[in-house]
Structure 1
Amino acid sequence: MAAGSLADDIRTKLGELSPAERKVARVILAGYPASGFETVAVIAERAAVSAPTVLRFAARLGYRGFPEFQAALRAELDERNASPLSLYEATGRQDAAEPHESGAALPLAHQTSAVFTTAVAQTLAEIPEHDLAQAISLLADRKRHITLAGGRFTHLFAQYLAMHLMQLRDEVRVLPDRAVERTAHLVHLSRRDVVVLFDYRRYEDDKEAIAQMVRDAGGKVIVFTDAWLSPATAHADVVLPSHVTTLTPYDSLVPTLAVLETVIAGVVQALGEDAHHHLQQSENTARRIGLV
């Protein structure tokens, strides 16, 4: 995805590394991001390789030395932890319209159109095909129980996807907000469960904890996140990242909605006539109780 996602870059280049360099990569990924700030000597010891191997690993990633690698990691963490307030203060007020070639200001709608069009196109072009296919397969598997959970803003997306899936198949629920109900649900996780998490910067600790609990129970985890990757992705079976570029201090979730719509379309295709039958039953029930 976007530049700055070092963990994603490391995973992508694993096949290009030597066996010794891959040991360094696995040590860093296992404790990411904190492991990246260890000394060369400590990382070498943990990976059971020589110090020069750690330096060669950094060079393979395109850095002139390990300090430069750590500087890039530090910059990434600054971006990962950015809040709307810090982004606002870093970029200044966004009240000046972008000028056109003629010198006149472009209308705001034209500016946002360019930004969102690019972000959506890049997100869909760069989304891992295997992960997209696996997400669709898991969500269309009617033997599995689907649970969805989001964050401060993204709980809306969890509900959005859940409402679509509820019309297409059984055993779909949003993770309850209240502590007792949430705990009761998580206690009963099993191999049949698929948990879908939405986690964007600033990441929420409970998402990583939930992902780990699902994996410990033998279930599957799907994570929708940004280009810097939520810590929950360390325990995920499927990772669906999106660009979040926008004109405001708030990250844009427009590309995420495009990914969601793509997943929904895939689930409808995968379920085929079963989806049609379930949707028909839902419509009939809603009509009988006066909801449509």
Structure 2
Amino acid sequence: MSSSAMHVAKTGLNAQQSRIQVISNNLANVNTTGFKRDRANFETLLYQTWRPAGAQTSEDTALTSGSSIGTGVRMVSIEKSFRQGNPMTTENPLDLAVDGNGFFQVLMPDGRMGYTRDGTFGMNGEGVVTTPSGYILQPEINIPADATNVSISSDGIVSVNVPGDVEPQEVGQITLTRFVNPRGLTPIGENMSVESQASGEPIITEPGQDGTGRLVQGALEASNVNVVQELVEMIEAQRAYEVNSKSISATDEMLRYLSNKL
């Protein structure tokens, strides 16, 4: 029984260590544009049942509750919170924030489509709108070299002013992508996530349509990490870790007592 208690306490240590790692990652990304905080979810391990509920205790009576003992805990998933982050004004015409649901589509170097809330965009040497890493925004938008002003409407229409033209010239349409289950997306780093079986297929639409948010030009979405909340959860996880470690110490003392007395 004592060795079983040590095993249960060990699963608790592992669970709280994983939780601390998740919290640490949240705090590390407190200033990452478009970052969505993670939350660790846990579940119980299998129970050992000695006598099930309803088992006969006599000819006319039965147990009202069973005799089952748990074998510990494990982390079952890490879930992202898609609560809206605060807008940060940058005055950069190619910086975009999504006010509401939706992701920007970016073509990754390996040919996969990446999805991000980070609207920090710029241009490469050919005038194509890209991420800071040079990944091309989809659908591709090319800004003329002689453009004097770039305007992006809330519904994603990109217009530029060029010398000699009085009226703005439309050069592209930014679209957004939403998913039935955005928590099912697989994060791969670089502020990117990719589609998975759990997320469902991407639904591509214009901003403000079919449940997507609208674009805000000259702004970025800040991380939705609340530092105070993360620190409170870190203290809670630390205390739980200490209690589990004391369970191991208590079990060790019990075993030592038995070995000395027998």
Structure number with bigger Rg: 2
Structures share fold, TM-score greater than 0.5: no
TM-score by length of 2: 0.23
Q: Which has the higher helix share?
A: 1
Q: Which has the higher strand share?
A: 2
Flag the structure with more relative contact order, 1 or 2, with Cα contacts below 8 A and sequence separation at least 6.
Answer: 2
TM-score by length of 1: 0.21
